[in-house]
Structure 1
């Protein structure tokens, strides 16, 4: 069995990473979504007990009150670090299991969609990291429209992440996503050819 090619996909809030992930899935790639696995992890009773112990009052009726938790951690780096220490190892374990299953099913490459890839220190896990980016104002408007958040709330979430400019320096390739889907598709086709990447 040839070695599995592991590619990271990341981007700041509102950059359009989900659009790129969807495009890659449509072309047959296995794309593993860290956010989806994080939601699964935070439905686990053991994880919820640990979160409640650190952030009392955010688990209500056996379910995580996500807005309440967000209010406690965004803009508070130490609190966010404590939450990540609980959830990140579990998310990584789930992603690794899914990756193993994909390889057993014949996948030659797996793309891990990880919002906090650089922040979480997982860059060494990947052959290459693709960064989706867009101008800050474009990103803010997208998230306000998508999630109904205030401008201040979006900016607070953005500030909790590594600055986009720093991510651009760390990434192996930058996918510009300022809004034209045709241009986005052309970039992605060229990038797959450059990396010689196939599902």
Structure 2
């Protein structure tokens, strides 16, 4: 009997709002790494009929014409720890199952590492399931300016979202490696390559 392939090692990718995590994820893909995006899988999960039925049963009125009204759901759970816990209990196991299936696919392809792109990695206590963690960070004012420019949110709204995340200093303390994305793309690329070399994912030049 052929033994099952060894599971790949996990590099957890995270970052505070506006830090540039999506840019780093794209750079990692360019370097041949498989990036599993938890937010993308959550969007796919919440389009599944079974999940939609469960969400509508738990939060009546959030599914309209077979589509999840994300704004209505967010309004329902925002600031309500009990309702948020209910939502997470419905969606998180489904997201984890999809991530596990994708990881199994990477193992079958013989990949030694996968990147798990998880915005709230530290907040969710998931760093223990990672072999290493990579944090993308930038000064608060830089992050606020970026988010305002791309989303149309006010400064106060961005600051409120940032305040709901773990403080950046604490994330830096917990992360294996931190990328400072306060400069240009060239500087960020150099840091990505240096981090991958340090982790043994990229050949040393």
1:110 corresponds in structure 2 to 114
Confirm whether residue 54 of structure 1 aligns to residue 77 of structure 2.
no
Q: Which runs of 5+ in 2 are unaligned?
A: none
The partner residue of 1:120 within 108, 114, 124 is 124
Distance in 2 between the 1:196 and 1:90 partners?
A: 32
**Contact 1:29–1:198 (8 Å) recurs in 2:** no
Q: Which one of 148, 151, 156 corresponds to residue 147 of structure 1? A: 151
Is the contact between residue 6 and residue 126 of structure 1 (CA under 8 Å) also seen in structure 2? Answer: yes
1:48-89 deviations in whole A, cap 9, x for unaligned? 222223333222111111122223334444433332222111
Q: How does 1:13-162 map to 2 (within 5 A)?
A: 13-162=17-166
SS at match of 1:178: coil
1:51, 1:157 → 2: CA distance? Answer: 24
Q: Tell me how far 1:4 sits from its aligned partner.
A: 1.7
Aligned residues: 199
Unaligned runs of 5+ in 1: none
Equivalence for 1:171:
175
- Contact 1:176/1:184 (8 A) holds in 2: yes
Residue 96 of structure 1: how far off its partner (Å) = 0.8
Contact 1:75 1:159 in 2 (8 A): no
Q: Is the 8 A contact 2:7 2:103 kept in 1?
A: no
Deviations 1:135-171 (A, max 9, x none): 1121122112212222232222222222222111111
Aligned partners of 1:118 and 1:167 also within 8 Å = yes
Residues in 1 aligned to 2:171 and 2:76: alpha-carbon distance in whole angstroms: 25
Dislocated runs of 4+, deviation >6 Å: none
**TM, length-normalised to structure 1:** 0.92
Q: For the structure 1 residues 73 and 143, does the alpha-carbon distance in structure 2 shift closer, same or farther, using more than 3 Å as the test?
A: farther
For residues 19-57 of structure 1, the C-alpha deviation after alignment (integer angstroms, 9 at most, x for no partner) is 000001001111111110000011112222222233332
